[in-house]
Amino acid sequence: MKHTLLFSSFVALTLSTTAWAQDESSEAAPTEMAQEAVTPSSTREWPRSLWGVYGGFGAPHVLNGGIEYLDQSRTWSMALDFGAFGYRPKDELNDKEEVSLGSVAIEGRYHPFTSSFYIAGALGSQGVTAKKTAVYSGETATAEIRVGNTFATPKVGWFWQFNSGLNFGVEVGAQIPLSTKVEVDDSNLNAIVLNDPEYIKNKKDVTDLAEKLGKQVLPHAVIRLGYAF
C-alpha cells in the first residue's frame, strides 16, 4: 500500500509539471511572435531580397520619396530617389515671387558592418525655377530664371528594417553640383520692360536666388519612413 501511494503521488506530480510547461509555452509563443513583428531583424541575412517604397522630409528638397532594392545579404542596397520643393515668399496683388525645385537621382548604399550604418552616394539632376511678377511701366511682366544642374551627393546614414515590413532611416551629406546651365526667360518682353530699373533689379534678385540653389554646395539631410516587401 505504501509503494502504491508513492507511485500515485509521482504520477500526479509528473502530470501537473507537464501541464504547467505546456501552459507556459502557449503563453510565451504569442509574446515571442509579437516581439518578432516589431523588432529589427537581427540575423546576418534576410530570408530574401526586398523591394520597398519610402517617403520623407529633409533638405534641400523638403519632400523626398523613392523606390528601393534591399539585397538579401544586407550589405548593399539601391534606390531611385525623387525630391521636390516649392515656396512663395510673397503673394500680393502686384508683387508675386515663386521658387521651385525638382530632382531625380540614383543612389547606392553599402553597409560595411552588415548593420544599420551605411555609406552612400547619389548621382542625379536638378531643376530650379525662380520667378517674380510685378508691374513695370504700366505693364505686368515676369522675370523668370531656370537653372539646371547635375549633382553628386556623398552621405552616411542609418537604416532599420523591421520584420513587419516597416523601415525607418536618417542620413546626412552634401549635394555637390557638377555642371550647371542657366536660362533667362524674357524673350517675349518689350524693350520698355527690359530697360525698366525695377525689372533689372528683380531679374538680378531671382537670378541670384536660382544660382544659389543651383550652383552652390547644399547640405543634405533626410528623415524617412518606408515599407519593404
- Mean pLDDT for 16-44 is 46
Q: Residue 177 — φ and ψ, nearest 5°?
A: -70, 140
Q: Residue 111 — φ and ψ, nearest 5°?
A: -100, 95
Kindly report, residue by residue over 220-229, the tens digit of the pLDDT: 999 999 999 9
Q: What is the pTM of this model?
A: 0.71
Beta bridge partners of 21: none
- Is residue 135 predicted with pLDDT exceeding 50? yes
Kindly report the number of other CB atoms within 10 A of residue 77's CB atom.
23
- Is residue 173 predicted with pLDDT exceeding 60? yes
